[in-house]
């Protein structure tokens, strides 16, 4: 089955700096790669996703890149703000089955 690795497990940045979280996957059949943000005590919220026919996608301060050859994808957050502090999960899946395999999560802390 699919295996998703995520790094780093914790990340501390100063407000205004950029944050990068990286994930690798093992199943070449995976073609859908969402990112979720989970604040303490709340459900995971989808923040951005990318499909295998696209190499990069951007939404305001958030961007995701995908390298299918190397089987890795990354989340980039620019101009970080304290409200970006949360746990971020990457995931991989196939579009039709919709089953997602999640990474282990990255706890991002944005300090003033």
Partner 1 sequence: SAVISQKPSRDICQRGTSLTIQCQVDSQVTMMFWYRQQPGQSLTLIATANQGSEATYESGFVIDKFPISRPNLTFSTLTVSNMSPEDSSIYLCSVRGQRNTIYFGEGSWLTVV
Binding site for partner 1 (CB under 8 A): 1, 32, 34, 36, 42-46, 49, 89, 91, 93, 95-96, 98-105
Cα–Cα distance for residue pair 94/80, rounded to 1 Å: 31
Nearer to partner 1, 58 or 99 (CB): 99
Q: Is 98 left (phi over 0), alpha (psi -120 to 50) or beta?
A: left
CB of 112 to partner 1, least distance (A): 25
Residue with tokens 């690795």: 5
CB of 79 to partner 1, least distance (A): 25
Strand order in the sheet with 56-59: 4-7, 19-25, 72-77, 62-67, 56-59
CB of 43 to partner 1, least distance (A): 5
Nearer to partner 1, 19 or 88 (CB): 88
CB of 16 to partner 1, least distance (A): 29
Nearer to partner 1, 14 or 98 (CB): 98
- Identify the bridge partners of residue 6 per DSSP, sorted by sequence position: 23
């Amino acid at each position: 089955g699919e295996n998703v690795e995520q790094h780093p497990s914790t990340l501390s940045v100063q407000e205004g700096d950029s944050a990068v979280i990286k994930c690798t996957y093992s199943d070449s059949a995976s073609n859908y790669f969402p990112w979720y943000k989970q604040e303490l005590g709340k459900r995971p919220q989808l923040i951005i996703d990318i499909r295998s026919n696209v190499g990069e996608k951007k939404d305001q301060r958030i961007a995701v890149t995908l390298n299918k050859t190397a089987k890795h994808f990354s989340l980039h957050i620019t101009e970080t703000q304290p409200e970006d502090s949360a746990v971020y999960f990457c995931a991989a899946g196939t579009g039709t089955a919709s089953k997602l395999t999640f990474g282990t999560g990255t706890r991002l802390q944005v300090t003033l």
